[in-house]
Amino acid sequence: MSWDNLLIFAVAATLCWLVGAVMAMRGKAVVPTASVSAIGSVIFFAFIVGMWISLERPPLRTMGETRLWYSFFLSLAGIAVYLRWRYRWILSFSTLMSVVFISINLLRPEIHSKSLMPALQSPWFVPHVIVYMFAYAMMGAVTLFALYLWLRPSHKEPSAEEMGVCDNLVRIGWAFLTLGMVMGALWAKQAWGDYWTWDPKETWAAATWLGYLLYLHLRKISKDHNVLFALLIFAFLMLQMCWWGINYLPSAQGVSVHVY
Amino acid sequence: MNLQWGYKRAFLRCALLFVVGAVLQLVFGDFDNSFLRYPWGLILAINYLYLLLLVYVQGAKWKWLQQLSDSYAMVSSLTSMLLLTIIFGFTRQDPSTEGVIGALGFSRMTSSWIFIIIFFYFLTTLGVTVMRDLHHWRHMRVATLLSHVVVFIALASSMFGSADKLRVMVNMQLDRMTYMAQTHDGEDYELPFALTLKEFKMEEYPAKLYVLDTKTESSSEQFLLAEYEGAEAEVNGWQLKVKQSIDMAVRMPQSEEFMEVHHVGAVPAVKVEARNTRTDEKREGWVSCGSHIFEPAYLWLDERYAVAMPRREAKRYLSRIEIMDEKGEQWREDVEVNKPARVGSWRIYQVGYDTQRGRWSSSSVVECVKDGWWPVVRVALWMILVTAVVMFLTAGGRHFGPKKQKGA
């Protein structure tokens, strides 16, 4: 399996996801709809597994490789939310988001090497990155949902149930952000001798974590949806800064050990 | 009206703390945490816990104490921490004190009075909340109760234990015993044990062959991974093929040929066949990255381009060290990246080696780290892991928006 095969797998997976999204929009039965979407995810996962085998290391090192997982988890998050809350639009959203990230990978092909530097050779590597990618996918889903609730043409006030979906997605996403951060801390102690060194990646991970934590606390006392939605979007921007923004941030140049 | 005043009061408190921190920073300079060294960190931590309990108990009598842990205090202290962390993220950390950013200590954030005070306030609101949660644990969501408690333990122990972290570097030479280390400030430090490097071992990834443009001194993006004999790839219009590969070789005197030799300084060498995909021209010859003894070898394709091999990437490297403790006991350990050795409360980490000599390095750099509070932090971190799992499993349950109650 090589990066060149991505197009075939991506097209096949996207077709399944699109069919699932259309079925959901038209109110077709839940199980067949989710199954079609799940087949798309399985096809996409097959590509990831193929890359894993051919690279002889987990495809979690480069930005492009993490984007693969992001697209995959977004599709899973969409299916999970659809199964749990039966939102007809969620599969369209998750498909759109997955396709955006696949397109970035297609437009910016990377040269992949089998090398994995000694610092990354740890049992923590795979869970740490996968858990983070899942958290990012959940936060991506809640950001889209918040944007929809905030800017929908009907200007309807979000219902308690709709806000409940936001809360639950944030709670799940925050739980996974926490898992990723703590796994990173335990790993850092093992690899670098300290569990927290305020490396730029760590600083922005902390800011993201605090941002969503603030949402969870603010939700208990604030009824102002504008503030809550703005915070969700702001927190997602911090997440982007943590994920790839620091690669371009002047204050982080040459000082981060999170460069692969 | 109550709601707005609650916010204003809480944020005013944070602003006041910010100003106090700024004044202290301008008057006293960076925050020095050395007063927290053992046993004072521990003594202060115990007293702090007692004070938190007192604040919680007295909160019933004194309203302002109660306000230290209400929702507004949590939101305001969280917002302040978030803002400072964002400033932290945008500010390059270096020892400079220039400009407003430097004067306020933001370029050395962890030693800035503002950061310390706001962090301490955040920790205190969390601490009082923990006391209340523990008192009313029957009415709490398990995930909320657990997350407050374990995050508090992790943050409090990292703060009170911050002065008990010691990191020193040791540059070991083969077969030479040493117990002297250097701190990051360049001062000598005597270790309570002695280290002797007995062996340095290194595994490398297979060589990569690039086409080098000697005019612009740039190399091709594509490469041929010389994993096995017969491996081939197209690189910049040349079809490269591995004809022969030797892991340890030396070029024979007055010869173009490489021979397998197991000797210090021996180099990896690859015999390559290059065929121009357009003109079908062929070249053949040896390519090597060289070592600290031998020069690199190139295969010239024309006057401008050549096939070159950069130094191979390290797959893993380890130092076999002999440790002797204060009692005179001796034993051997392998120290590798991600696999530190332990000596009492110290851990020894593989950091570096002589990169000029690569696998023939006769020296190795290790970092010895002592963190007396790590056992507490480790337990807290594992508890946070468990809490996050509980949070995930219990998410999706009860709706938890604003409570419909008086004044809200």
User: How confident is the model over B24-75, as pLDDT tens digits?
Assistant: 999 999 999 999 999 999 999 999 999 999 999 998 888 888 888 888 999 9
Contact A93, A144 (CB under 8 A): yes
Residues from chain A that touch B168, judged by Cβ atoms under 8 A, are none
With a cut of 90, say whether residue A95 has pLDDT above it.
Answer: yes
Domain A120-251 has CATH 1.10.10: no
Domain ranges of chain A: 1-109, 120-251
Contact at 8 Å (CB) between B208 and B216? no
Examine the pLDDT at A68 and tell me if it is beyond 70.
yes
**Long-range Cβ contact pairs of B41-46 (< 8 A, separation 24 or more):** B41/B160, B41/B161, B41/B162, B41/B163, B41/B164, B41/B373, B42/B160, B44/B160, B45/B156, B45/B157, B45/B160
From A174, A185, A250, residue closest to B381, measured CB to CB: A185
The pLDDT of residue B404 is above 70: no
Within a domain: residue B76? yes
**pLDDT tens-digit series, residues B116-165:** 999 999 999 999 999 999 999 888 889 999 999 999 999 999 999 999 99
Chain A residues whose beta carbon lies within 8 Å of the beta carbon of residue B183:
none
Q: Flag whether pLDDT at A174 surpasses 60.
A: yes
The more confidently predicted of residues A206 and A88 is: A206
- The reply to whether B402 falls in a domain is no
Is residue B404 in some structural domain?
no
> Is residue B347 within a helix (H) or strand (E), and if so which, with residue range?
strand B346-353
Give the gap in angstroms from C-alpha B205 to the nearest C-alpha of chain A: 7
Question: Does the residue B65 lie in any domain?
Answer: yes
CB A174 within 8 A of CB B391: yes
B82, B151, B373, B404, best to mutate vs chain A, most A CBs in 10 Å: B82
Closest CA–CA distance from residue B145 to any residue of chain A (Å)? 14
Let me know whether B193 and B260 are in one domain: no
Residue A110 has pLDDT above 90, yes or no: no
pLDDT of residue A3: 84
Given a cut of 70, whether residue B402 has pLDDT beyond it is no
Confidence category of residue B405, pLDDT binned at 50, 70, 90? very low
Do B230 and B252 sit in the same domain of this protein?
Answer: yes
Q: Give B-chain residues touching A213 at CB under 8 angstroms.
A: 78
Q: What is the C-alpha separation between B121 and B368, in angstroms, rounded?
A: 33
Confidence band, pLDDT 50/70/90 cuts, at residue B349: very high
Whether B221 and B111 share a structural domain: no
Q: CA of A203, closest CA in chain B: separation in Å?
A: 6
Domain count, chain B: 3
Which of A176, A178, A174, A183 is closest to A128 using CA atoms?
A183
Q: What distance lies between CA B358 and its chain's CA centroid?
A: 23
Express each pLDDT in B295-324 by its tens digit.
999 999 999 999 999 999 999 999 999 999
Q: Are residues B228 and B339 in the same domain?
A: no
Residues of A (185-204) whose Cβ lies below 8 Å from B: 185-186, 189-196, 198, 200, 203-204
Tens of pLDDT, residues B263-301:
899 999 999 999 999 999 999 999 999 999 999 999 999
Rounded to 5 degrees, φ, ψ at B379 are -60, -45
Of B315, B377, B399, the CB nearest to A164: B399
Task: Mark whether B301 and B349 lie in a shared domain.
Answer: no
Indicate if B112 and B234 belong to the same structural domain: no
Cβ atoms of B105 and B30 closer than 8 Å: yes
How do the residues of chain B divide into helix, strand and coil, expressed in percent and rounded to 5? 40, 30, 30
Question: B398 vs A83, which has greater pLDDT?
Answer: A83
What pLDDT, on a 0 to 100 scale, did the predictor assign at position B401?
Answer: 53
Inside any domain, residue B403? no
| pLDDT attached to residue B393 | 85
Least confident of A106-115, A249-258, B188-197, B360-369: A106-115
And the tokens for B355?
């990169």
From the list B110, B316, B349, the residue facing A193 with the nearest CB is: B349
Q: What is the pLDDT of residue B1?
A: 41
Q: Which among B384, B400, B408 has CB closest to A167?
A: B400
A118–B336 CB contact, under 8 Å: yes
Segments forming the whole domain that contains residue B260: 206-312
Q: Considering chain B, what percentage of its residues have pLDDT values greater than 90?
A: 84
Average pLDDT, integer, range A41-45: 97
State how beta strands B305-308 and B232-235 pair.
unpaired
Nearest residue to A137 (alpha-carbon basis) of A201, A78, A63, A184 = A78
Q: Do B237 and B349 reside in the same domain of the chain?
A: no
> How distant is the Cα of B89 from the closest Cα of chain A, in angstroms?
6
**Chain A residue whose CA is closest to B78:** A214
Q: Which residues of A touch B378 (CB under 8 A)?
A: 186, 189
Q: Do A171 and B391 touch (CB under 8 A)?
A: yes
Residues B6 and B64 reside in one and the same domain: yes
Which of A168, A185, A217 shows the shortest C-beta gap to B396?
A: A168
Nearest C-alpha of chain B: how many angstroms from A4?
14
Q: How far apart are CA A239 and CA A173, in angstroms?
A: 12
CB contact under 8 A, B89 and A241: yes
| Least confident interval from B1-5, B45-49, B397-401 | B397-401
> Partners of B31 in the beta sheet?
none
Averaged pLDDT of chain A? 92
Q: What is the mean pLDDT of residues A119-130?
A: 92
Nearest CA to A172 out of B31, B408, B319, B389 is that of B389
Own/partner pairs for B140-143, CB < 8 Å, 24+ apart?
Answer: B141/B394, B141/B398, B142/B390, B142/B394, B143/B387, B143/B390, B143/B391, B143/B394, B143/B395
Window 52-81 of A: residues touching B by CB (8 A cutoff) are none
Q: What are phi and psi of A159, to 5 degrees?
A: -80, 170
Q: Give a yes or no: residue B183 inside a domain.
A: yes
Q: Which residues of A touch B403 (CB under 8 A)?
A: 220
Pairing of strands B177-183, B165-173: antiparallel
b (16+ CB within 10 A) / e for B259-280 = eeeeeeebbbbbbbbbbeeeee
Among A203-207, B156-160, B220-224, B397-401, the least confident range: B397-401
Which of B337, B348, B377 to mutate to probe the A interface, most A CBs <10 Å?
B337
From A15's Cα to the closest Cα of chain B, the distance in A is 30
Task: Judge residue A111's burial from the number of C-beta atoms within 10 Å of its C-beta, 0-12 exposed, 13-18 middle, 19 or more buried.
Answer: exposed
More confident residue, B364 or B100: B364
CB B175 within 8 A of CB B196: yes
The pLDDT value given to residue B209: 97
Kindly state whether residues B291 and B386 are assigned to the same domain: no
Statement: residue A218 has pLDDT above 60? yes
Per the document, the length of chain A is 260
